[in-house]
Chains A and B, each alone.
Chain A
Amino acid sequence: MSALTREETEALIKEVLEVYPEKAQKDRAKHLAVNDQSVEQSKKCITSNRKSLPGVMTIRGCAYAGSKGVVWGPIKDMIHISHGPVGCGQYSRAGRRNYYVGVTGVNTFGTMNFTSDFQEKDIVFGGDKKLAKIINEIEGLFPLHKGISVQSECPIGLIGDDIEAVSKKGAAELNKPVVPVRCEGFRGVSQSLGHHIANDAIRDWVFSRDGKDVKQEFVPGPYDVSIIGDYNIGGDAWSSRILLEEMGLRVVAQWSGDGTLAEIELTPKVKLNLIHCYRSMNYIARHMEEKYSIPWIEYNFFGPTKIAESLRAIAAHFDDTIKEGAERVIAKYQPMVDAVIAKYRQRLEGKRVMLYVGGLRPRHVIGSYEDLGMEVVGTGYEFGHNDDYDRTIKEMGNATLLYDDVTGFEFEEFVKKVKPDLIGSGIKEKYIFQKMGVPFRQMHSWDYSGPYHGYDGFAIFARDMDMTINNPCWKSLTPPWQKQPEAEAIAQAA
């Protein structure tokens, strides 16, 4: 099926919206758009970061998910208490595959779940005493931890516990940072506000303590950078880090995949902040730019075209040795990239992809697909804001679909009509689309594969996409007794 024209896409949106009641139709229409590269401001064509409609199926998370699951969780040498009932922590434990180096339970705690396990009496009488007790217990059981963060679940805000007071007291007793994070799940419309709250907590409780900046014994170098907004999913931050180090930069901090508290405290000393996930960590970059005069740039390590572009853009902030380093790195990996493209491009050329993910991926991975000769025909963010769509419009082709906070129904209908060769979305969509017979990759945590960042990641990315699209199982979806007899006859005749 060839690409849809603008009119066809507009008609498709209209058709899908028809089943809604009038009011819902009006609201949802604002979130669906046909891409037009000439539009400079996304708000003219698409509305984002609004409350989901009651009654539709949305796949958004909550502020707690944004803070504990995304920003704080991967900081490996801190203990993150899921403060509240047990479920929030347990069902979000270790699902994101933020890889790290260390001995779990001794000096790193990434895949463990710490919770205050609220019961009825804690709701009635308050949970502050319990929190104080937990902080002391943690110190006794895991003395090598570097600090504690208290990730509030909904009840904390509802019953009005004073976690700040308990944290301050605990920090004084332990002589380690104890960070209260007010990321109750009911705040905001999606996990996006959780990212913001978590960033603000780092600003207020990690960069400065008791109103004073944290002092660190550290000799800054001329080529210090930090990787911000890379959560090391399947090892992403590692495959990014080696490229930066090969071109001569010194990576001081990883935020927050495989990151430590000490790295985060050192970040205000770097020369340049490199932002991969803009949506979840631009807040802290903006703060560091204002307070410490550290410039920041967004970069994209998906696919060789974008990697080369990004490496050169990063190098432009430094002197000639780094610029030469960037060229050297690009040249070094070129044969490997050529081999990958030679192997997979012929198998993937012209395939059409629909994406629906969160954070940076709806626009960042487009380059990877294009390097393999594939085309992204629809994309959307779970929790993007206007500035995300501003950046997306330029990346997407004309007359492609844009959908914000798409509902289960809309997404299925779009797929039925657009008939893409591959869908990249989350686990909640995976089995629906596989049962519909559409090849699917779970693009939140790379379908248990990865890394996808960097040149090494691109080779894995290409292999995974080929493995999914050209899997023989897609031809076996019709059972033999339902096969059309004519088709068989034709096959025999041939």
Chain B
Amino acid sequence: MANIMIRRGAAGEYVFYLPKRDLEDTITSMEFDQADKWGGEIKLNNGGAYYVDPLPAPPRLPISVRARRMDAAE
């Protein structure tokens, strides 16, 4: 499990940040991005994938959440 931070980038895209490793990357896809469910599997531009327990509603960004690493690049 890792603490990650998700924020909005300048172009409105989701940006992923892993403070422990100073890893910043854009999120290419998020499993649930709806009004009633937000989170799930996150795919990163660098090929990595993380899993965030889905939240009942889209949170105020940026938000720090716990994420499970599914497939990390490097």
Contacts and interface: CB of A to CB of B under 8 A. Distances in A.
Contacts of A283: 19
A286 B22 contact: no
Contact of A290 (B22, B62, B73): B62
Contact of A41 (B5, B7, B17, B45): B45
A283 B24 CA distance: 12
Interface string A369-411: 0000000000000000111001000000000000000000000
B63 interface: yes
A385 B24 CA distance: 10
B22 A385 contact: yes
Contact of B62 (A43, A192, A286): A286
Contacts of A293: 60
A290 B63 contact: yes
Contacts of B74: 43
Contact of A43 (B5, B7, B46, B60): B46
Interface string A284-295: 001001100100
A27 to B, nearest CB: 15
Contacts of A468: none
Given A49-B22, A196-B22, A290-B5, A41 B62 contact: no
A387 B46 contact: no
B23 interface: yes
Nearest to A40: B45
Given A41-B46, A43-B74, A290 B64 contact: yes
Contacts of A192: 22
A289 B63 CA distance: 9
Interface string B1-37: 0000101000000000101001110000000000000
Contact-size category for A: 10 to 19
Contacts of B45: 41
Contacts of B7: 286, 289-290
A216 B15 CA distance: 33
Contacts of A385: 22
Contact of A387 (B19, B22, B64): B22
Interface in B47-64: 60, 62-64
A286 B17 contact: yes
Contacts of A390: 24
A390 B45 CA distance: 13
A283 B62 CA distance: 13
B11 to A, nearest CB: 14
B3 to A, nearest CB: 12
Contact of B23 (A289, A290, A386): A386
A445 to B, nearest CB: 25
Contacts of B62: 286, 289-290
Interface in A269-308: 283, 286, 289-290, 293
A41 B46 CA distance: 8
A43 B7 CA distance: 21
Nearest to A297: B10
A481 B1 CA distance: 70
Nearest to B63: A290
A49 B21 CA distance: 9
Given A196-B22, A387-B22, A286 B46 contact: no
A283 B22 CA distance: 9
A324 B17 CA distance: 35
Contacts of B19: 196, 283, 286
B2 to A, nearest CB: 15
Contacts of A289: 7, 62
Contacts of A43: 46, 73-74
Interface in A188-231: 192, 196
A49 B74 CA distance: 13
Nearest to A293: B60
A289 B7 CA distance: 9
Nearest to A200: B19
Contacts of B46: 41, 43
A182 to B, nearest CB: 15
A43 B62 CA distance: 25
A283 B63 CA distance: 14
26 contacts: A41-B45, A41-B46, A43-B46, A43-B73, A43-B74, A49-B22, A192-B22, A196-B19, A196-B22, A283-B19, A286-B7, A286-B17, A286-B19, A286-B62, A289-B7, A289-B62, A290-B5, A290-B62, A290-B63, A290-B64, A293-B60, A385-B22, A386-B22, A386-B23, A386-B24, A387-B24
7 closest Cβ pairs, A-B complex: A290-B62, A387-B24, A385-B22, A289-B62, A290-B64, A41-B46, A286-B5
Given A286-B19, A289-B62, A290-B62, 15 more contacts: A41-B45, A43-B73, A192-B22, A196-B19, A196-B22, A286-B5, A286-B7, A286-B17, A290-B7, A290-B63, A293-B60, A386-B23, A387-B22, A387-B24, A390-B24
